């Protein structure tokens, strides 16, 4: 059985807070897809409270909100990833891709050392 080495997973810190990481990136993508923090949380198997806390942390760490929310009413509430949030998400994915590409040969060589 050949060893499988997971791609890199990195986090962007803002003080003691994780401003962006794989989980937050997944949450942003799910909010973009569903238009709802609640539905995004459900899709990712996390509680609404956890999802809301992650959104709050992201919004506090960046210069502008990544997610905007609307309360209920006649047309219901919802959430949307802002244009700034889409830019942050795209940059995060680009950095992840570059990091993986930069070490791909080393990862392959490392995998050869494993059972």
Is the predicted pLDDT of residue 43 greater than 70, yes or no? Answer: yes
The architecture in CATH of the region 18-67+76-109 reads Orthogonal Bundle (1.10)
CA angle 32, 33, 38 (to 5 degrees): 85
Separation of alpha carbons 17 and 12, rounded Å: 9
**Domain ranges in the chain?**
18-67+76-109
Is the pTM value of this prediction over 0.85? yes
Q: Which residue has the higher pLDDT, 6 or 108?
A: 108
Determine the pLDDT at residue 81.
98
């Amino acid at each position: 059985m050949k060893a499988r080495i997971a791609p890199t997973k990195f986090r962007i810190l803002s003080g003691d807070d994780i401003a962006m990481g794989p989980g937050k990136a997944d949450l942003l993508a799910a909010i973009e897809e569903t238009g709802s923090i609640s539905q995004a949380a459900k899709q990712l198997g996390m509680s609404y409270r956890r999802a809301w806390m992650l959104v709050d942390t992201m919004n506090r760490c960046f210069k502008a909100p990544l997610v905007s929310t609307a309360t209920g009413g006649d047309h219901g509430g919802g959430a949307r990833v802002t244009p700034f949030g889409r830019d942050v998400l795209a940059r995060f994915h680009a950095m992840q891709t570059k990091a993986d590409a930069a070490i791909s040969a080393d990862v392959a060589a490392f995998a050869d050392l494993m059972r």
